[in-house]
Amino acid sequence: MRTVRYIGVLDDEIIAVRGMVFQLEKLLPNAEVKGFTQYREFELWCENNTPELVFLDMEMPQAMGLNVAKRIQADVGNIVFVTAHSHYSLEAFETAVDYILKPISPKRLQQALAKVEALVPVKARQAQKIKLLLKGTFREFPETDIAYLRGQRNYTEVVLTNGEHHLIARTLKSFTDAMSDAFVRIHKSIVVQRALIVKIQTSNPPFVLLQDGTQLDAAKARFKTLDSDE
């Protein structure tokens, strides 16, 4: 198989993850194979490492494989779904190159790798960019540099992942209309980069916790949207 740097595995069952990682390391000893049971950690890893190949469980308690696949498509090469159910096959093939039923045999895994080998590598799309008017000059920032946005009537506070805060004379809606689904609205006035969310607190008062420890107010009415996206 052509040179593969990174392979990711996501499954809510740790035994399944370890088994898949073990098999892949034997078949592709020169690749770094990383296993995950938490989808948010997996999505962040994909964003930072742009793996050539990932294996996703279709059904997990806190996430659906199809939704995870849609969110990571910009950051990965090829996706292979792994599941104990067969009724997802048609929908799965819209976003994945193969579909493996559990339990996974070494022979079936080799077939999936051969199929990926025969494909032209999928190029990740360029990160969407946002223009900000700072001190009279427009600067472009990749969406991934934006942690969250907080609307303040006709202004929007833009907070970058490096900790910078900028108050921009634009409405929050003018930003969200141009942003991808990498961002989610957690409050009528707050939009957050999905990959940075590490905890969703539904009890009173509701809030969302980000990787850097930032705690943002949330609205319970928005949690349904978060759940459906996940």
Predicted local confidence at residue 16, as pLDDT: 93
- CATH code of 210's domain: 2.40.50.1020
Residue 35 falls inside a structural domain: yes
Q: Examine the domain organization and report whether 44 and 98 are in the same domain.
A: yes
Residue 122 falls inside a structural domain: no
Q: Examine the domain organization and report whether 145 and 200 are in the same domain.
A: yes
Residue 1 falls inside a structural domain: no
Predicted local confidence at residue 215, as pLDDT: 94
90: containing domain: 6-117
Single residue among 73, 88, 117 that ends a domain in this structure: 117
Q: Examine the domain organization and report whether 83 and 139 are in the same domain.
A: no
Q: Examine the domain organization and report whether 53 and 141 are in the same domain.
A: no
Say how many domains are in the chain. 2
Q: Which of 150-154, 185-189, 193-197 has the lowest mean pLDDT?
A: 193-197
Residue 71 falls inside a structural domain: yes
- Exposure class string for 157-188: b at 16+ Cβ within 10 A, else e: bbbebeeeeeebebebeebeeeeeebbbbbbe
Residue 29 falls inside a structural domain: yes
CA torsion 186-131-39-228 (nearest 10°) is 40
pTM of the model as a whole: 0.53
Q: 79 pLDDT exceeds 70?
A: yes
SS3 123: coil
Predicted local confidence at residue 123, as pLDDT: 46
d(CA 10, CA 42): 7
- Exposure class string for 40-60: b at 16+ Cβ within 10 A, else e: bebbbbbbebebbbbbbbbeb
DSSP label at residue 143: G
The secondary structure of 32-70 as a DSSP string is: EEEEES-HHHHHHHHHHH--SEEEEESEETTEEHHHHHH
